[in-house]
């Protein structure tokens, strides 16, 4: 069966190539399973982030609604208390009541 040392070399090379093929198939399988698990984790994270974004949008809508109502309520409360809108007029009245300043030489 083994006439020369070359025959033994070919048998050893064939045996090594079989083991290398088995190892590469095993490594490829585990790489594929790792990628599958990573894809599932990314999908779960994407779902959680989507849920968080929806919750934040809901909160923002509610805050916008409440702030709009508060604007009208503050307007009517100010009118009821007699505060009114005197924003720009107060500054002009105060400027008229200030005593004149002396000019420096």
C-alpha to C-alpha distances, 5 to 13, 45, 62, 84, nearest whole angstrom: 12, 59, 85, 109
pTM above 0.85, yes or no: no
The tens-digit pLDDT sequence of the chain (105 residues) is 778 899 999 999 999 999 999 999 999 999 999 999 999 999 999 999 999 999 999 999 988 888 877 877 878 888 888 776 555 444 445 555 556 666 665
Please give the structure tokens belonging to residue 66: 């409440």
pLDDT for residue 38: 98
Contacts of 78 (CB under 8 A, 6+ apart): 84, 85
pLDDT for residue 104: 64
pLDDT for residue 2: 73
Please give the structure tokens belonging to residue 35: 């990628």
pLDDT for residue 23: 98
């Amino acid at each position: 069966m083994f006439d020369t040392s070359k025959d033994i070399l070919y048998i050893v090379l064939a045996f090594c190539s079989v083991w290398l093929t088995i190892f590469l198939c095993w490594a490829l399988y585990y790489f594929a399973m790792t990628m599958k698990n990573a894809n599932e984790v990314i999908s779960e994270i994407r779902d959680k982030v989507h849920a968080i974004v929806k919750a934040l949008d809901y909160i923002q809508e509610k805050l916008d609604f409440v702030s709009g109502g508060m604007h009208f309520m503050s307007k009517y409360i100010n009118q009821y208390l007699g505060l009114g809108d005197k924003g720009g007029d107060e500054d002009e009245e105060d400027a008229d009541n200030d005593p004149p300043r002396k000019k420096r030489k």
